Amino acid sequence: MTATLDEIQDIEKTALNRGKWANLVMGVAGVLAAWFSRSDAMLVDGLYSAVNFFSAVVAAKVSLRVGLPPNKQRPWGYGFEETIYVTFRSLILIGILLFAFFVSGTKVLTFATGGEVPELVFGPIAIYAVAMVLLCGGLAYSFNHAYVKSGRSSALLKTESRAAIVDGAISAGSGIALLSLPFLAGTPLEPIVPVGDAIVVVVLVSIIIWQPFSMFRSAIGELAGDSAPNKTVHQVMQVAETQADTSGYSVLRVVAQRAGRAHIVVVYLNTNHAVFPRQIDEYRNKLSRILEDKIGPVQLEIVLTENTVI
C-alpha cells in the first residue's frame, strides 16, 4: 500500500531536514579542504554539497506545496512543482560539473603550455575523503530508506538519494585518485603528477554528468506531457475495467501522466443505459481509492463518451 500525501510529507520533512544540515557541513568542509589542499577536485565536491544544501531547503518548501488540493489556479494540483524542482536542480548540477570540467581542462592546458600550477597538499585530502564518504553513505541510506518508506512515490527523496550517492562517489574517487598521485613517481605517468588533480576532475565529471542529465531528461518528459510508463497505464486500465464491469460501463481508453509523486488519470467510459451523475461520482471515488493503493496519489477524471480517438 502506498503512503498517503500527509505521510509522505512527514517522511520527507524528516529526511530532508537531516540531509540539509549534513550537506551544509560537507559543503563547508569541501571548500576548506580545497583551500588548504589547493585541489580543484575538493572544491567541486564542496560545491556539489553546497548545492545539495540549498536544494534541500527548496525541496522542503516544494514538499509542502505538492500536497495542496487542486484549486481554480491549479486545477490539476501542485504535483508538477516537484517535477520543476527536479528539472532546475539537475540543470544546476550539470552547470557545476561543466564548470569544473572547464576549469580543470584549463589547468591541464596551462601546464601543457609551460605554465605553473599549484602543488597539492595531501594531508587535508585524506581526512576529508574518508569523512565525506562516511557521511554521504549514511545520507544516501537515510534518503533511500525514506524513499522506500514513502512507497517509492517521492521524486524528491529519490533525487536526493541519487545526489548523495554521486557526492560520495566524487569524494571517494577524487580522494583515492589524488592520494595515489605520489606513488606515480618513477613511473611512466610521473609527468602528469602536477596536473593529476585536474585530470581526476575531468574523468569524474565525464562519468558522473550523465546522472543529472538522466534526471533532467525524465523531468522534461513529465513537463512535456509524456505518458506514464506502460506498467502504470496497464494497472489503471485493469482496475478501471474491473470496476466498470460491475457498474455496466465499458472502458474505451485510459490516459495516465506522471506529475511528480502523483498521477493525472482520465478514464473514458461508454454506457448502454441511462446513468445519474451520482453514479459516475461513486464509480470515480471507488476507482480513485483503489488506484491510490496501487500507484499512489491520483487526480482522476471520468469522461462519458461514445468514442474516443487514439
What are 61-108's pLDDT values in tens digits? 887 787 777 888 888 888 888 888 888 888 888 888 888 888 888 888
What confidence tier does 2 reach under pLDDT thresholds 50, 70, 90?
A: low
User: Going by C-beta distance under 8 Å and a sequence separation of 6 or more, which residues neighbour residue 66?
Assistant: 5, 77, 78, 79, 81, 82, 260, 261, 262
What are 126-141's pLDDT values in tens digits? 888 888 889 889 989 9
Q: What is the pLDDT of residue 5?
A: 67
One DSSP character per residue, 26-45 reads HHHHHHHHHHHHT-HHHHHH
- Mind listing the domains of the chain with CATH numbers? 5-223 (1.20.1510.10), 230-304 (3.30.70.1350)
pTM of the prediction?
A: 0.72
Of 59, 49, 48, residue with least CA distance to 16: 59
Cα-to-chain-centroid distance, residue 50: 16
Residue 234's identity, in one-letter code, is: H
What are 205-257's pLDDT values in tens digits? 888 888 888 889 988 988 888 888 888 899 999 999 998 888 788 999 999 99
Average pLDDT, the chain: 84
How far is residue 259's CA from residue 282's CA, in Å, rounded to a whole number? 24
Instruction: Say whether 209 sits in a helix, a strand or coil.
Output: coil
